């Protein structure tokens, strides 16, 4: 997931790559990461998005594609749900050095 965040990962595919049953993989992943695999993937993508918005120059549309979202709208909706502000607002706040810039933990 870390090497290919844009890939359309699924639980069956992840469990196959880990050579485990879906149930065993999901239970083991949750025990280690404290969340289900696809929730982790979403959070990982949001952390990458925050870094890119803060430090990079990619547009929101390009970033959405890089992170595996089907559209800019889907990415923006997911970002706002996780972070609390739109991607462009996050970029402006982060670059202005706003002390209250939201973060995904």
Q: What is the pTM of this model?
A: 0.85
Distance CA(73)–CA(34), nearest Å, equals: 29
| Residue with token string 């993508």 | 45
The pLDDT tens digits for 46-84 are: 999 999 999 999 999 999 999 999 999 999 999 999 999
* pLDDT given at position 99: 57
Distance CA(21)–CA(11), nearest Å, equals: 10
The pLDDT tens digits for 5-44 are: 999 999 999 999 999 999 999 999 999 999 999 999 999 9
- Domains along the sequence of the chain with CATH: 11-95 (1.10.10.60)
Written as six digits, the tokens of 82 are 């996780």
Question: Are the C-beta atoms of residues 44 and 5 closer than 8 Å to each other?
Answer: yes
In this prediction, residue 97 has a pLDDT band, given cuts at 50, 70 and 90, of confident
């Amino acid at each position: 997931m870390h090497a290919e965040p844009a890939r359309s990962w699924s639980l069956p595919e992840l469990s196959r790559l880990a050579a485990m049953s879906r149930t065993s993989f999901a239970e083991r992943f949750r025990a280690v990461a404290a969340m289900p695999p696809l929730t982790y993937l979403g959070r990982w993508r949001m952390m990458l998005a925050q870094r890119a918005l803060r430090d990079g120059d990619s547009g929101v549309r390009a970033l959405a594609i890089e992170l595996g979202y089907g559209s800019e709208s889907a990415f923006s909706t997911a970002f706002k749900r996780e972070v609390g502000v739109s991607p462009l607002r996050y970029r402006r706040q982060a670059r202005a050095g706003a002390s209250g810039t939201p973060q995904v933990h």
